[in-house]
A and B are shown apart, each in its own frame.
Chain A
Amino acid sequence: MKKIAVCYKWVLSDADIRVNEKTRELDMEKCKPQISEYDRNAIECGVQIKKAAGGELVGMTAGAAVTASTKDALSRGLDTVSFLEDGVMKDADSTTTSKVLAGMIKQIGDVDVVICSEGSSDEYARQTGPRLAALLGWPSVSYVSKVTVSGDSFELERKMEEGTEVVSVAAPVVISVLPDVGEAPIPGVKDILGAKKKPANAVSLGDIGLSADAAKPLTAVKSVLAPVTSRKNVHLNPDGVSIADAAAALVKQLSADGVL
């Protein structure tokens, strides 16, 4: 392998999202940025491929504020990171993201395989990998649960709804992987402190020959709102009501509703 590229996204963790009860708007203020969970598995997949077949393991990311992500990414086994930080990414949709990443991959050259996760924890659009493949003119193999590499060829197991599909493909290829490909280990102190010795290369739209206009999103966001919970939310055993009584009341109610 010459170069193995792994794409990762710097997202806001959804663990601390608050919802404004009245407006249903999301308050992301307490949410910390992190590498999207499944992207960590994708990076680990890259580490495994590098172990088996050699090559340089390059992390790639694009976003409005991603400089802070590079050390974290480099502590997970990457050799280098290329990152594009630009305001155009603020409203990026899958179209923008894939065009930018494709440009970055073309620019570094000699990439044999691009690894993406199935989808990011925030949008979960699950488009980036296949879009990248189409833009690069390479095959896309998605929902990969197992990777075996020999020389410049891959045997990939896909986890499909009806079973496993085993695919044989030669580099270059874009693979979108499931977390099954490998558990991402917690980085040790040496990995963390060693990250600063590895290169993090800033890349601009100009470097990859993409104008802001060519990269602009095809979609606009009208709103992002928590759904109105239309559930009845009846607490059957408030203070004083026994479990036995609550159970009986529940069964009675469900029968009346016609669902039991």
Chain B
Amino acid sequence: MRDIWIVADNSAWADVMVTCAKGIAVDAEITLFKLALPADGLWESHAAPLAEKAKADKPAFILVEGSKRGRDLAAQVAALIDAPLFTDGRNIKAEGNTVTAETLVYGGAAIKTVSTEAPTVLVTIGAKDYEPTAGAAVAEGSVSPAAGPKVTARKPRPAQTVNLGEAAKVVGVGRGFSEEAELSAARDLAAAIGAEVACSRPIAEFFKWMPEECYIGISGQVLKPDLYLAVGISGQAQHVFGVRDAKTIVSVNKDAECPMNQNADYYIVGDWKEVLPALIAAARR
């Protein structure tokens, strides 16, 4: 029977991690630490108190939400109790005293399988990596945050007009487009098939043709749509990672050998200027 702690700031995260915990050990004894965001302090200020408790109770696993706060907190706890931490760990297996997990390296180009004999193992869990288990009966744990840096303001991001995470179909645009005005062709396609529009990182970060929450990648949006249609995207590992679990990937790129074409279920080699109108026409029929 393994003691598994789950550390989250809301139920949505908790429900995902419950599934993960049950996957590690079907009879796991789960304790949920639902820690609130302090009004004028960092969420990560729960790290030291959590570590204290972990030293005493010695759980087999501490699963932490794979958010930015979660990664910071998990790493601090790991250092304080001298334990290993698997960031965005997947395929977590516990056999006897050995725990193995998979992480992604080289921007998603490779899967690293690691093992440890450590008595307590921390893992941050990706939001989309497990289906949520709602309403599971779990024990509740709590700690109070320690003193720490002051948060003097929180400025919410302007409301997203799209929720890419919920979109069943997504059209992605990349550097195959040379001007912002050209994106209208992709938007027309998206409208024709009922898709949302997203992009590769340079389009948002460098050219700023789309807001940052629209870029797909290992440090951006990680999506699981039914259909991902990449247009003019070369398909660097960091980008492909963001849609690796899409049901179907389609790519349109004039470079036959590009990674996006090679990582697609279906691909058309050609200039989007020709292909998109043909697709729109076909979709409308």
Contact = CB atoms under 8 A, between A and B. Distances in A.
B267 interface: yes
Given A224-B105, A247-B278, A250-B279, A164 B155 contact: yes
A213 interface: no
Contacts of A165: 42, 151, 153-154
B89 to A, nearest CB: 10
Interface stretch (A48-56, A69-77, A104-112, A235-243): A235-243
A82 to B, nearest CB: 21
Given A233-B267, A254-B227, A17 B283 contact: no
Interface in B226-279: 226-227, 237, 244, 247-250, 256, 261-270, 274-275, 278-279
Interface in B19-43: 42
B207 to A, nearest CB: 15
Given A140-B76, A167-B149, A243-B278, A220 B115 contact: yes
B282 A250 contact: yes
B248 A124 contact: no
Interface of B is mostly: mixed
A260 B76 contact: no
A258 B249 CA distance: 13
A36 to B, nearest CB: 11
A14 interface: yes
Interface string B131-170: 0000000000000000011111111110000000000110
Contact of B75 (A126, A218, A258): A126
Nearest to B256: A235
Contacts of B85: 94, 125, 127
A247 B156 contact: no
A226 interface: yes
What class of interface size applies to chain A in its complex with B?
A: 35 or more
A141 to B, nearest CB: 6
Nearest to A24: B110
A158 to B, nearest CB: 8
A98 B219 CA distance: 22
Given A130-B72, A232-B266, A164 B106 contact: no
Contacts of A254: 227, 248, 250, 266
Contacts of B247: 257, 259
Contacts of A220: 114-116
Contacts of B269: 235, 237
Contacts of A226: 109-111
Given A127-B78, A134-B76, A231-B249, A259 B111 contact: no
Contacts of B262: 229, 233
B268 A247 contact: yes
A236 B154 contact: no
Nearest to A226: B110
A134 B47 contact: yes
Contacts of A237: 268-270
Closest 7 CB pairs of A and B: A247-B278, A134-B79, A130-B75, A169-B149, A131-B79, A163-B156, A127-B75
Interface of B: 42, 44, 47-48, 51, 67-69, 71-80, 82-85, 87, 100, 103-107, 109-116, 118, 148-157, 168-169, 193, 218-219, 226-227, 237, 244, 247-250, 256, 261-270, 274-275, 278-279, 281-283, 285
Interface of A: 14, 17, 19, 26, 93-95, 98, 118, 121-135, 139-143, 155, 158, 160-169, 173, 176, 218-227, 229, 231-237, 243-244, 246-248, 250-251, 253-254, 257-260
25 contacts: A94-B84, A125-B103, A127-B87, A134-B75, A134-B76, A140-B76, A141-B149, A162-B156, A162-B157, A163-B154, A164-B155, A222-B114, A223-B113, A224-B105, A226-B110, A226-B111, A227-B111, A229-B262, A233-B264, A235-B269, A236-B267, A246-B268, A248-B282, A250-B279, A260-B227
